[in-house]
Amino acid sequence: MTKVLVIADIKDGALKGSTAELVSKAGEIGAETAVAAIGSGVASLTGDLVQAGSSTQYIADDPGLELFSAGPYAACVVDAARQFGADMIWFGFSESGKTLAPRVAARLDAACVSEIIDVKLKGDQVEVTRPAIANKVLQQVKINTGSLVAVVRAGAFEAGEDVSGTENVVQLSPPETDARAVIQEIISDAEGEIDLTDANIVISVGRGVKDQDGVNLVKELAHDLQAGLGASRAMVDGGFMPHNTQVGQTGKIVAPSLYMAVGISGAIQHLAGMSGSKYILAVNKDPEAPIFNVADYGIVGDLFEVVPILREEIKKVRNQ
């Protein structure tokens, strides 16, 4: 039986939805599934890890793992993979996953594939599908080694309905700290912001909103809708939005039920991060803007006029 080790995505002490999605997919392809949780205080998540559908839980819970540090975290993953005898190790689509996967693959002499959206077992042979060239093409990739480390693209798999696991906790011993790459601090995101990758609705601002007042206008709409607030690279480079809100080829990949692009032209690198959304609404004053080629609903107009009306109308339909 194929064994899949899923590395838990944990943010602010809580398990992210992506973990259950990965575990469900592993179950679907008939694999035995373990989950590894690494951090400080993560033992308290054991119940959630079981509920996600895992049959074994590898826990590395140590105050020394409070701040993300790639070397020690990779050591924990390698330890869990060896103990479990993992054929595949799957990371969610996080910055830590993206930086850990190649390290772990190199240490285990395994293949490494980023951003997979599908995985198939053909007898002993593993084949995965993944986008490349800013999501313009899909590659069908054959794995030539016995083991595979993969990063799963956000939104690729769905969590099953009634999954259940069994509790079988294995404690991992804390690794040595990395004296050559010492984490000093994490300048964290604004408190209370809604996580883009988990949000049901994401609203992103582009250069069209111009300045901080424009950002604030859209922020009010996001607040009404409890939506995550994203941005194009133009707004991040302009210093109007934090780096971690960038959606696209070099930023976050989001796949919410509704994505609203406000004052965004729709460059290929931006589309690479949001074209998996269920519905897309674009607001742009240029009827020829490429974003309209992918939007299910398009409003051609001045966003400074349209956004306040959007707020009012949405309030109306929500109060009905």
Ligand X SMILES: Cc1cc2nc3c(=O)[nH]c(=O)nc-3n(C[C@H](O)[C@H](O)[C@H](O)COP(=O)(O)OP(=O)(O)OC[C@H]3O[C@@H](n4cnc5c(N)ncnc54)[C@H](O)[C@@H]3O)c2cc1C
Q: Which of residues 202-221 bind ligand X (CB under 6 A)?
A: 206-208
Q: What does the per-residue mask of binding to another protein show for 213-232, with x meaning CB under 8 A?
A: ------------x-------
237's contact among another protein, ligand X, none, with CB below 5 to 8 A by partner kind, is another protein
For position 194 contacting another protein by CB under 8 A, the verdict is: no
Using CB under 8 A, which of the segments 26-34, 51-59, 213-221, 274-282 binds another protein? 274-282
Contact 92, 150 (CB under 8 A): no
**Binding letters toward another protein, positions 31-50, x by CB under 8 A:** --------------------
Closest alpha carbon to 261 in 308, 204, 194, 216: 204
* Dist. CA 287–CA 266, nearest whole Å: 12
Residue found under tokens 């690494």: 38
Q: Binding of another protein at residue 98 (CB under 8 A)?
A: yes
Residues 138 to 177 in contact with another protein, rule: CB under 8 A: 138-145, 148
- Cα–Cα distance between 160 and 20 in angstroms, integer? 8
| Number of CB atoms found within 10 A of residue 244's CB | 17
Tell me the β-bridge partners of 171.
59
Q: How many residues does the chain have?
A: 320
Judged by CB under 8 A, the chain residues 291 through 320 that form the site for another protein are 292-302, 305-306, 309-310, 313-314, 316-318
- Does 80 help bind another protein (rule: CB under 8 A)? no
Decide: is 14 part of the binding site for another protein (CB under 8 A).
Answer: no
245 binds ligand X (CB under 6 A): no
The set of residues, in sequence order, having a beta carbon less than 8 Å from that of 50 and lying 6+ positions away, is 57, 164, 165, 166, 167
Which residue carries 């050591």 as its tokens?
A: 75
Q: Does 204 bind another protein (CB under 8 A)?
A: no
CB atoms closer than 10 angstroms to residue 173: 9
- How far is 268 from 266, CA to CA, in rounded Å? 6
Residue indicated by tokens 């993992």: 86
Q: Could you tell which of another protein, ligand X, none binds residue 178, using a CB distance below 5 to 8 A set by kind?
A: another protein
Cβ 45 to ligand X shortest distance, Å: 31
Query: Would you tell me which residues interact with ligand X (CB under 6 A)?
Result: 206-208, 232-235, 246-251, 263-265, 267, 269-270, 273, 283-286, 289, 302-304
